[in-house]
Structure 1
Amino acid sequence: MGQPPGGRAHGPDRTRAGRRRTWAAAGAALLSSAAIAGCSSGAVGPPVLNFYTPADAATQYGEAAADCTTQANGRYTIVPQTLPKGADDQRLQLARRLVAGDTAVDIMGIDVTWTAEFATAGWITRLPEDVAAQVTQGTLAGPLETATFKGALWAAPLNTNTQILWYRKDLAPTPPKTWDEMISMSEALQQKGLPSYIEVQGAQYEGLSVWFNTMINSAGGQIVDENGTVLIGQEPSRGAAEKAATIMQRVAASPASDPSLSVAKENDGRLAMEAGTAAFQINYPFVYASINTPPPDGGGGGTFIDDQGRPAGTDTGKKVIDEFAWAPYPSVTPGTPAKPTIGGLNLAVSTTSLHPALAYEAVQCLRSRENQLRNATDAGVPPTLEALYGDPSFQQEYPAWQAIKESLDDASVRPKTPAYQSISIVLSDLLNPPAQINPQAVVGEMADQVVRAENSEGLVP
């Protein structure tokens, strides 16, 4: 297993240059997108269902498409179409095709943050009641929430993802239960000259927005509701936002913090833990596979450490992997579970498809138990079917399965609004660098900027 950094862990990894796209660009590309529409669904023979997926886990999606084609027994053929690696580029290519009315787009793997936008734009179909009932049965509530908008189910959850706490048990025999406790433990380690870093995503990109969204939801607040009402500027969400921002600032400004936190992404935290400089990291399940995968030189397991847990220059017989452990995501309020923000990929049927009924059937096959288990064990993307968390083959690949499942059960989702892409840009801009956050001031600015994003008064990515 191994969740690739920058993949479906949380959503788009955007740059400033990539943000400032408008839908005028989509309109200008109508002719070119129609020209590259791919296989025609009107070709002679069984109907072709084009299945658009991101590049990560393309092999597994292709295998699922082949298996489901065989099971269709000649009634249709599923043809995988791989989108670009970057989530922004995936979204733009799909938008161009859908705005052009491309009938060769049938089934799409869409990021969980796109549901509201694609539904509002009229690009994806609302699942019929019978299909929605089948999708709902046995599917975890959190992933289902990412596919729901204004009371309707618009997609079928294929895989999900969530963060938990990964820590060094030699440095922290009892893992911290709250952020306050983790900060105190980190600073105590630093005073002893021991590895102390708390690794979390502090760079100016989607990961920082995810961190804040988890923290505000864990504190009992919300940024914006499904109706587009901005809540972050009013109580209780304002107080929750200030509490979230305060903790984030403390983590980054602590004398025990990683000096590079303001540019850190998922992979940076993984590397810091493997190098022996981090005591804690908030990250996705891919880090377990990474530390357990031997490199070509036959090593693996991270840096050698001495009896006190410091990086060692010689082979002492103990490595970071020997002390690598996991625990639930730290809470903001003692006694109240955290609400980690979940990611993932959902399957939606386009409104331009010539064969929606067949596409719905194919979606059910593509997200079957067998295919979700393969995606989980071979591609490192946790499943959305609850029963799989009790499957021994899944548990063997995911020793932290119980912590992952608990995180999913307590999950929060990102704001379900067509303006989410713009809101995320606002949040990551205002919160970076985290060490310089002024909690009271930044929350007021957030409220103003999120209102502008909801009203389309700023730049649209």
Structure 2
Amino acid sequence: MRGCGIRSAPGRKTRTARWRRLRALAALPLLVCPLAACGGSGGSGPVSVNWYNFPDDSGALQKAADRCSRSSGGRFRIVYHKLPRTADGQRQQLVRRLAAHDDAIDVMGLDVTWAPEFAEAGWIREWTGQAKRQAGKGTLAVPLRTATWKGKLYAVPYNTNTQLLWYRKDLVPTPPRTWAEMLDMARRLAREGKPHRVEIQGAQYEGLTVWFNTLVASAGGAILDPSATKPSLGAPAVRAAGVMRDLAHSPAADPSLSNQMEDQNRLAMESGTAAFELNYPFVYPSMKANKPRLFKSFGWAPYPRVDADRPARPTIGGIDLAIGAYSPHPALAFEAALCLRDRQNQLTAATAGGLPPTLRALYDDPAFVKQYPFAKDVLDALQKASVRPQTPAYQNVSIVVSHALSPPSAIKPNSTVATMKGQIDDALQSKGVIP
């Protein structure tokens, strides 16, 4: 194996002594040399398939890597490498390494917005034939759409995510169906001197783009036109911006709205000052563990609608697994990726790591439903979900959207959307790769 040769000690030794030394050194773990240097296919033993993904504290990803390594029958060993914690940091590392034609990246976890950019740059391989058929079998349609670019599949959905409305049942016996109803309820609670805030992501980052995208889609529109070559910000976008402004100027707004992200929302809800929270399912086990008293009144419901007669379309999240264009063993990488996201590994990721699965059948699995009593609501949201703009220039588009809408209290629906439209048009002229 490249870089892992064993050197005998200097000086004269008998053949017997040399043989004993070599046997002892051969018994040392492979980790004594760098993984990248030990991952070649030229040596004996299993090929190392390098999997780069987000850092998982639950152990579910390492368990998946170990399980798939065992099931390969000694043909490959999956080595799980942790990327930085932030999505920006993850993308930056992958972009820089792939731009340098790094052949150590076999399988990588992509945010659901990255496939167009990486595919257009030639950094990931297309899924075809049997691998493509296996990737699509039993997979939910909207997550599969996030892995598709120009009609071709470039990744396989590993996990997914979507937001629900979380609320205090002791304050609100019947959850609101629309944003207007929710703000009215919050105003009433405020007048009564009760907890009344609506917690949502208002900071100038990706979460703000997600909020806007959800509202635009729920109002019947989209940020980009179907060709993804120009903005499509008409009446639905103005309506969405108006909802954001209305919250920011109501008693329901958290004083820290313009700095709030998902975890701050979770903590605010657990502190008892909020009546509503728009967030991901990770808040459920957190409330159960941290605030058992409040947990007894912690309920969930579908994401609020913009229009009473039109279902909400919350924005989908998650990770897709792609195969590096420069991997020296792509066939094994495709096989490994399919194993990593199989039924058992997705179930483990869902129950241990809190990551909703992309396989439809798991939403009826008793083990999953036990951990996710809101599984039906998550599935319903995923089947109606919207995706963020699919374009190689997504990073540019997202930056424009989050800047234009920050802070939410300064939004002027018509003028803000008009300005955003022109800036998105400019952003689409770039090649989309921001190192």
User: Could you tell me the TM-score, scaled by structure 1's length?
Assistant: 0.84
Alignment of 1:31-42 (within 5 A): 39-42=38-41
- Residue 401 of structure 2 corresponds to residue 442 of structure 1: no
**Cross-structure match for 1:190:** 190
SS in structure 1 opposite 2:296? helix
Q: Distance in 2 between matches of 1:86 and 1:254?
A: 31
Flag the 1:449–1:69 CA change in 2: closer, same or farther, 3 A.
Answer: same
Q: Distance in 2 between matches of 1:249 and 1:37?
A: 50
SS in structure 1 opposite 2:227? coil
**Cross-structure match for 2:67:** 67
Q: Distance in 2 between matches of 1:206 and 1:364?
A: 29
Q: Distance in 2 between matches of 1:52 and 1:88?
A: 15
- Residue 322 of structure 2 corresponds to residue 293 of structure 1: no
**Cross-structure match for 1:144:** 144
Flag the 1:93–1:43 CA change in 2: closer, same or farther, 3 A.
Answer: farther
Flag the 1:388–1:453 CA change in 2: closer, same or farther, 3 A.
Answer: same
**Cross-structure match for 1:77:** 77
Alignment of 1:246-265 (within 5 A): 246-265=242-261
**Cross-structure match for 1:313:** none
**Cross-structure match for 2:26:** none
Q: Distance in 2 between matches of 1:38 and 1:273?
A: 48
- Structure 1, unmatched stretches of 5+, are 1-34, 295-299, 302-318
Q: Distance in 2 between matches of 1:130 and 1:368?
A: 15
Flag the 1:109–1:57 CA change in 2: closer, same or farther, 3 A.
Answer: farther
Q: Is the 8 A contact 2:65 2:79 kept in 1?
A: yes
Q: Distance in 2 between matches of 1:56 and 1:458?
A: 28
**Cross-structure match for 2:318:** 344
Q: Is the 8 A contact 1:201 1:264 kept in 2?
A: yes
Alignment of 1:173-212 (within 5 A): 173-212=173-212
Q: Is the 8 A contact 2:392 2:433 kept in 1?
A: no
How far did residue 249 of structure 1 move? 0.4
Q: Is the 8 A contact 1:57 1:375 kept in 2?
A: no
Q: Distance in 2 between matches of 1:419 and 1:58?
A: 33
- Residue 428 of structure 2 corresponds to residue 454 of structure 1: yes
- Residue 378 of structure 2 corresponds to residue 404 of structure 1: yes
Alignment of 1:422-441 (within 5 A): 422-441=396-415
Q: Is the 8 A contact 1:60 1:375 kept in 2?
A: yes
**Cross-structure match for 1:110:** 110
Q: Distance in 2 between matches of 1:330 and 1:404?
A: 14
- Residue 309 of structure 2 corresponds to residue 335 of structure 1: yes
Cα deviation code 1:260-313 (max 9, x no counterpart): 11111111111121111101110000000001114xxxxx32xxxxxxxxxxxx
- Residue 382 of structure 2 corresponds to residue 382 of structure 1: no
Question: Which residue type is aligned with residue 207 of structure 1?
Answer: G
**Cross-structure match for 1:394:** 368
Q: Distance in 1 between matches of 2:432 and 2:366?
A: 50
Q: Distance in 2 between matches of 1:395 and 1:260?
A: 35
Q: Does 47-56 or 154-163 show the bigger shift?
A: 47-56
Q: 2:344 aligns with which of 367, 370, 377?
A: 370
User: Could you tell me the TM-score, scaled by structure 2's length?
Assistant: 0.89
Flag the 1:163–1:40 CA change in 2: closer, same or farther, 3 A.
Answer: same
SS in structure 1 opposite 2:289? coil
Question: Which residue type is aligned with residue 228 of structure 2?
Answer: G
SS in structure 2 opposite 1:113? coil
Flag the 1:409–1:457 CA change in 2: closer, same or farther, 3 A.
Answer: closer
Q: Is the 8 A contact 2:231 2:425 kept in 1?
A: no
Q: Distance in 2 between matches of 1:389 and 1:450?
A: 38
Q: Distance in 2 between matches of 1:444 and 1:187?
A: 30
Q: Distance in 2 between matches of 1:63 and 1:263?
A: 36
**Cross-structure match for 1:355:** 329
**Cross-structure match for 1:217:** 217
How far did residue 59 of structure 1 move? 2.4
How far did residue 101 of structure 1 move? 1.5
Q: Is the 8 A contact 2:228 2:391 kept in 1?
A: yes
**Cross-structure match for 2:240:** 244
Flag the 1:54–1:39 CA change in 2: closer, same or farther, 3 A.
Answer: farther
Q: Distance in 2 between matches of 1:458 and 1:85?
A: 22
Flag the 1:432–1:38 CA change in 2: closer, same or farther, 3 A.
Answer: farther
SS in structure 2 opposite 1:171? coil
Cα deviation code 1:68-112 (max 9, x no counterpart): 111110112211111111221211111122122121111111111
Q: Is the 8 A contact 1:327 1:403 kept in 2?
A: yes
Q: Distance in 1 between matches of 2:136 and 2:402?
A: 33
**Cross-structure match for 2:19:** none
Q: Is the 8 A contact 2:117 2:433 kept in 1?
A: no
Q: Is the 8 A contact 1:200 1:283 kept in 2?
A: yes
Q: Distance in 2 between matches of 1:210 and 1:224?
A: 14
Cα deviation code 1:214-265 (max 9, x no counterpart): 0001111111146332233xxxx41000000000100111033211111111
**Cross-structure match for 2:25:** none
Q: Is the 8 A contact 1:159 1:383 kept in 2?
A: yes
Q: Distance in 2 between matches of 1:386 and 1:39?
A: 38
**Cross-structure match for 1:19:** none
Q: Does 394-403 or 52-61 show the bigger shift?
A: 52-61
Q: 2:392 aligns with which of 418, 422, 426?
A: 418
Q: Is the 8 A contact 2:393 2:433 kept in 1?
A: no
Q: Is the 8 A contact 1:373 1:388 kept in 2?
A: yes
Flag the 1:58–1:397 CA change in 2: closer, same or farther, 3 A.
Answer: closer
SS in structure 2 opposite 1:110? strand
Q: Does 194-203 or 55-64 show the bigger shift?
A: 55-64
How far did residue 458 of structure 1 move? 10
